[in-house]
């Protein structure tokens, strides 16, 4: 069956143009990416690349024709091996006439659209754990390594690259033993050039590979932010869905201990602001493994924010099953009735401790672990607030334009009538994180500050 080649829109405002020149003639073989014609507009002359492959069966619009309307058929392409068929002779194009719809057809189309809009999206929930499944205690570091290794065994297109991930086995020993198992072609040491190896990985993802890019710290991802934001995140949209980037950018995020302002930033809000990216920030080992496996399988670019201070903490992880946690679903870590505490990554542990302290004073806090920053599961937060009528958000990042600000805004928008107090936010003080230990402690969120904020919204 012949494929129509249509007059392209080379800019958002283009409605017509001149077919200045054909670079292919009838009978020529056409490959995707070949320059087949030059299109001239009032602003510029641009080359037109083929998207489909086959044999140029017939040129429908002659070279030099002016006023060719966008989406007018200009040629037909025959798939390889198909019999040749007749096609119209070259002619000057006319603007296509809009097809009139009968009232009944319009009504049917509207009803179909309404039905589609009302169709609920599939419910996201953690995978069921089969009866008899055993749990094994492992550190977050081990869980991340296990998640990557399982996916690399499952899919030969997955590979790991970054500074010191191979010979040194990772700056934090995340990739320990992986070079021995997968070899230097799939566990790759890179030079100290984040922009360079991030760009290389994005290019590899365009060609169907599935890179895992490790940043020694996410603070160094600032050197590669153009590749992450302008190349990985935007290409699917800018190519009209023709090219995607299945890639994971992972590494430690947030404040460690006395490593200075340049090495202590939380990038959840930075990357969570960008359409085209998915941003994950797990707390425990089970989520670190399950969400990382989901990120590697996802066809979109994923920013996976780990926390150095959690690497050595142990949690229970299901053993012997393909543990994949859905992206975009929050988790209620503790049930409560009096106040909702919303956090992610390391701050979830702070909130759980604060909840225990609050319980001693008769305040039962519900703790919601966001897990995914983008797309955020605001529905779970809203349902919790409808029950508790109070909200406290907790994050390591700065307050202005932060994750907590987004949560508070959405809850105010969607559950205003359920709030018995204004939402409160606990976050890093609005200064570069100090190096001195005493000042660092004063700048960062703490269990005490969370308890204080929860009591304030509870008027106690």
Q: Which of 57, 194, 395, 406 is catalytic?
A: 194
- List the alpha helices (DSSP H) in 43-136: 103-118
Distance CA 395, CA 374 (A): 15
**Beta strand residue intervals within 335-412, DSSP E:** 339-343, 365-369, 372-374, 391-398
Cα 296–chain centre separation: 11
Which pair of tokens denotes residue 98?
């809009």
User: Residue 220 — φ and ψ, nearest 5°?
Assistant: -75, -15
Q: Is 427 a known active-site residue?
A: no
Residue 380 backbone dihedrals phi, psi, to 5 degrees: -65, -40
Q: What b/e sequence results for 193-218 when a residue is b if at least 16 CB atoms lie within 10 Å of its CB, and e otherwise? A: ebbebbbbbbebbbeebbbbbbbbbb
d(CA 355, CA 334): 8
Q: Tokens representing 277?
A: 């990216």
Q: Are 143 and 288 in contact (CB under 8 A)?
A: yes
Q: Could you confirm whether 263 is annotated as catalytic?
A: yes
CA atoms in the 13 A half-sphere facing the CB of 61:
30
Q: What is the DSSP letter of 95?
A: P
Q: Are the C-beta atoms of residues 71 and 20 closer than 8 Å to each other?
A: no
Q: Which of 263, 306, 308, 427 is catalytic?
A: 263
Q: What is the largest CA-CA distance in the chain?
A: 86
Cβ 150 vs Cβ 293: under 8 Å? yes
Q: Is the peptide bond before 375 cis (omega within 30 degrees of 0)?
A: yes
Give dist(CA 306, CA 187) in Å, integer: 20
According to DSSP, residue 313 is labeled -
Q: Is 347 in a helix, a strand, or coil?
A: helix
Residues marked active site are found at 194, 263
């Amino acid at each position: 069956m012949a494929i129509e080649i249509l007059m392209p829109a080379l800019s958002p405002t283009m409605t017509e143009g001149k077919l200045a020149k054909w670079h292919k003639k009838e009978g020529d073989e056409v490959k995707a990416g070949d320059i087949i014609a030059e299109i001239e507009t009032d602003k510029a002359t641009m080359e037109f690349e083929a998207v489909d492959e086959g044999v140029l069966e017939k040129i429908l619009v002659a070279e030099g024709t002016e006023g060719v309307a966008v989406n007018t058929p200009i040629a037909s392409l025959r798939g390889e091996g198909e019999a040749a068929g007749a096609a119209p002779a070259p002619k000057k194009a006319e603007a296509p006439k809009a097809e009139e719809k009968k009232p009944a057809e319009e009504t049917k189309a509207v009803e179909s659209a309404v039905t589609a809009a009302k169709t609920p999206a599939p419910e996201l929930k953690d995978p069921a754990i089969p009866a008899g499944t055993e749990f094994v205690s492992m550190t977050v570091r081990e869980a991340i390594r296990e998640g990557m290794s399982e996916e690399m065994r499952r899919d030969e297109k997955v590979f790991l690259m970054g500074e010191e991930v191979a010979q040194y086995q990772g700056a934090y020993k995340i990739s320990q033993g992986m070079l021995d198992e997968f070899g230097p072609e799939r566990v790759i040491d890179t030079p100290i050039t984040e922009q360079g190896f991030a760009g290389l990985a994005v290019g590899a993802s365009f060609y169907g590979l599935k890179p895992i890019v490790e940043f020694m710290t996410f603070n160094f991802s600032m050197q590669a932010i153009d590749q992450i934001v302008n190349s990985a995140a935007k290409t699917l949209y800018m190519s009209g869905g023709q090219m995607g980037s299945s890639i994971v950018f992972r590494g430690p995020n947030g404040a460690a201990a006395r490593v200075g302002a340049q090495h202590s930033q939380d990038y959840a809000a930075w990357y969570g602001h960008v359409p085209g990216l998915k941003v994950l920030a797990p707390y425990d080992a089970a989520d670190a493994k399950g969400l990382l496996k989901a990120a590697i399988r996802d066809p979109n670019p994923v920013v996976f924010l780990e926390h150095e201070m959690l690497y050595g903490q142990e949690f229970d992880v299901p053993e012997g099953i393909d543990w994949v946690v859905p992206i975009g679903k929050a988790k209620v870590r503790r049930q409560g009735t009096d106040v909702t505490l919303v956090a992610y990554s390391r701050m979830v542990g702070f909130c759980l401790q604060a909840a225990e302290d609050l319980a001693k004073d008769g305040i039962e806090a519900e703790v919601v672990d966001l897990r995914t920053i983008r797309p955020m599961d605001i529905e779970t937060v809203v349902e919790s607030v409808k029950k508790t009528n109070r909200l406290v958000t907790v994050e390591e990042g700065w307050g202005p334009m932060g994750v907590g600000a987004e949560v508070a805004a959405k809850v105010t928008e969607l559950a205003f009538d359920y709030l018995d107090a204004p939402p409160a936010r606990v976050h890093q003080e609005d200064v570069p994180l100090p190096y001195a230990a005493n000042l660092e402690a004063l700048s960062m969120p703490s269990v005490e500050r969370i308890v204080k904020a929860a009591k304030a919204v509870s008027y106690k």
